[in-house]
C-alpha cells in the first residue's frame, strides 16, 4: 500500500468501537462514536491558515482532510465530540514518511506537529510530542472497509505508558440523508 | 529488533487486559488474565513430539516455548485457561519470516501451522488458517515490559472479519513464590 492510498482509503464515515485501557488500574473504558473523514482542497481557507501558522508552502502538502467525531463513553456522561483539520507534508526524499500538521492536538490545545511513516506492512504510525506527554498511534486497514487503530499515551521521556486504546472502525456504507 | 530478540523479550509472566470487539453488534468483551511464556529446550519431549507430528528436523527450529493462560471474562462465568507449546521454524533464507507449529490451535482443536514475519517496524504478524476461519495477530513491544497484541478472526475467504481483540500485556516483575 502506498501512502496516497492510505489517505484516500481513510476518507468516509466510520462507525468506531473503542476500548481504552488504563494500564495501572487495569480499567476498561468503552466508547462508541461516529468519525467523519472528509477530503479538503489545498485552496481551502482552513488549510491555508494551517500552512501559514507553521510557515509551510502550500505546494509541499498532500491530501489535507477534516476529521470530525461524535461519541459516547461509558465512563463519562458528556458526549465526546470535536473536529480537527490535518495537513500531511510528505518528506521529499521518502514519500512514505512525513509530518502531519493540525489545528489542534488531541491531548492539549496547542497545535502539534506529528511525524508519520508507513511500514512495509501497511501500518501507518503517527508520533506526536506534547509538552508533558507523547502519543503514538498505529492505524492499518484489515480490508478497505475496516480500519484498526491502536493509540498509546506515553510520558514525555517515552518510557512510561499510561493508557492504550484500540479502535475498530467500520465504514458506514449508507450515507446519511442531508 | 531482530526476531530472536522478539522471542526472548516475550519470555516471562504477563498481566493481560484484553478487549474483544464483536464487530457486527458493536459488543465489547473484557478479559483479565495472566499469561506465562516459558522458554523450552529443543530436547524436551513436548518439543520433539511436535517436530515428529509435522515431520520437522529438530535442528531447524528456534526458541520453542510454552504459553499458559488463565483468565476471566465479563461475558462468561467459566474461567478461561489453557496451555500450548509453540515451535518456530525460521525461513533459512530470511530469518525474520517463518512458520510456527503448535500442539493446539486457538479456535479449533486440530494442530495448526501459522506463518509469521517481523516488519521493519518491529511488528510480529502471525497468520493462521483453520478449516472455516483465519486468524491474524499482530504483536509488538511498546517497551521491554509492555506488549500489545491485536488479533482478528476472519472468514476463511479472508474478507469478512467477525471479531477483533486488543490486549495490553504488562510484565509481572515480581515472580510468584514457588
Residue B121, domain CATH: 2.40.128.20
In a domain, A174, yes or no: no
Within-domain flag for A58: yes
pLDDT of amino acid B129: 87
Kindly state the average pLDDT of the residues A90-97: 95
| Length, in residues, of chain A | 178
Q: A121 — contact with chain B (CB < 8 Å)?
A: yes
Look at residue B77 in the predicted model and tell me its pLDDT: 77
As a whole number, mean pLDDT of residues B22-51 equals: 95
State the pLDDT at residue B75. 83
Domain assignment present for residue B35? The answer is: yes
Any domain includes A136 = yes
Residue found under cell 476472519: B154
Report the gap between the CA of A58 and the closest CA in chain B (Å). 30
What does the pLDDT average to over B110-135? 88
Interface test with A, best of B25, B122, B127, B142 (most A CBs within 10 A): B142
Confidence label for B156 from pLDDT (cuts 50, 70 and 90): confident
DSSP labels for B107-165?
SSSS---EEEEE-TTS-EEEEEE-SSEEEEEEEEEEETTEEEEEEEEEETTS--EEEEE
pLDDT at B178 over 50: no
Touching check for B127 and chain A: CB below 8 Å? no
**B175 assigned to some structural domain:** no
Residue B3 is classified by DSSP as H
Residue A73 contacts B, CB cutoff 8 Å: no
More confident residue, A174 or A126: A126
Q: Residue B99 and residue A130: Cα distance in Å, rounded?
A: 41
Task: Establish if A32 touches chain B: CB-CB under 8 angstroms.
Answer: yes
| Domain span including residue A10 | 3-169
pLDDT band per the 50, 70, 90 thresholds, residue B176:
low
State yes or no: pLDDT of A105 exceeds 50.
Answer: no
Band of the pLDDT at B105, cuts 50, 70, 90?
A: very low
pLDDT at A178: 43
Confidence at B104, pLDDT banded by 50, 70, 90: low
Q: Measure the CA–CA gap between B170 and B147, rounded to whole angstroms.
A: 7
How is A103-137 classified by DSSP, letter by letter? SS-SSSSS---EEEEE-TTS-EEEEEE-SSEEEEE
Share of chain A above pLDDT 70, in %: 92
Question: Is pLDDT above 80 for A109?
Answer: no
For residue A161, list chain B residues with Cβ-Cβ distance below 8 A: 142-143, 146
Residue B85, domain member (yes or no): yes
Q: Output the pLDDT for position B155.
A: 86
Is residue B177 situated within a structural domain?
Answer: no
| B37 assigned to some structural domain | yes
Number of domains in chain B: 1
Distance CA B161, CA B20 (A): 13
Amino acid at each position: 500500500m502506498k501512502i496516497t492510498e492510505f489517505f484516500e482509503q481513510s476518507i468516509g464515515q466510520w462507525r468506531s468501537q473503542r476500548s481504552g485501557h488504563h494500564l495501572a488500574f487495569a480499567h476498561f473504558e468503552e466508547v462508541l462514536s461516529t468519525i467523519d473523514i472528509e477530503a479538503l482542497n489545498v485552496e481551502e481557507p482552513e488549510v491555508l491558515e494551517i500552512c501559514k501558522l507553521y510557515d509551510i508552502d502550500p505546494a509541499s502538502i498532500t491530501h489535507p482532510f477534516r476529521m470530525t467525531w461524535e461519541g459516547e463513553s461509558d465512563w463519562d456522561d458528556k458526549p465526546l465530540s470535536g473536529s480537527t483539520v490535518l495537513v500531511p507534508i510528505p518528506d521529499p526524499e521518502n514519500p512514505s514518511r512525513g509530518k502531519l500538521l493540525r489545528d489542534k492536538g488531541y491531548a492539549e490545545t496547542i497545535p502539534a506537529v506529528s511525524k508519520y511513516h508507513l511500514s512495509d506492512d501497511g501500518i501507518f504510525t503517527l508520533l506526536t510530542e506534547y509538552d508533558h506527554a507523547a502519543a503514538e498511534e498505529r492505524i492499518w486497514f484489515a480490508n478497505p472497509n475496516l480500519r484498526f487503530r491502536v493509540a498509546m499515551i506515553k510520558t514525555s521521556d517515552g518510557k512510561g505508558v499510561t493508557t492504550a486504546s484500540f479502535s475498530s472502525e467500520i465504514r458506514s456504507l449508507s450515507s446519511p440523508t442531508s
